[in-house]
């Protein structure tokens, strides 16, 4: 499991969560859609000019794994999976 430095930003945490999901998906033989409510993270991963090492590493995973697609969903509108992740993320910041 990945771990961030205590001074890491929310943006870095969002990128890392997408990267970890892509890393997991790269080990399957199934089509996987990774959904995120972090539009800025998805834009960073999609950019050829990204300066983020995490986004660059995620790009490498995606280049080598054609079974993974990324998608954006609106935050806080009741998607059960997204709401559960938000609860876990909040809990993680308090521990």
Name the band, by pLDDT with cuts 50, 70 and 90, for residue 90.
low
pLDDT tens track for 19-31: 999 999 999 989 9
Contact 49, 91 (CB under 8 A): no
Q: pTM for this structure?
A: 0.84
Handedness of CA 84, 85, 88, 94 (dihedral sign): negative
Contact 15, 52 (CB under 8 A): yes
Tokens at 63, concatenated: 């280049």
Handedness of CA 31, 63, 4, 51 (dihedral sign): negative
pLDDT tens track for 25-74: 999 989 999 999 999 999 999 999 999 999 999 999 999 999 999 999 98
């Amino acid at each position: 499991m990945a771990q961030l430095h205590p001074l890491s930003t929310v943006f870095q945490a969002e990128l890392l969560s997408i990267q970890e999901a892509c890393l997991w998906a790269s080990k399957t033989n199934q089509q996987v859609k990774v959904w995120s409510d972090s539009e800025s993270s998805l834009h960073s991963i999609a950019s050829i000019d990204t300066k983020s090492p995490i986004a660059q590493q995620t790009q490498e995973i995606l280049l080598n794994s054609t079974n993974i697609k990324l998608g954006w969903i609106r935050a806080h509108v009741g998607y059960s999976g997204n709401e559960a992740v938000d609860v876990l993320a909040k809990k993680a910041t308090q521990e």
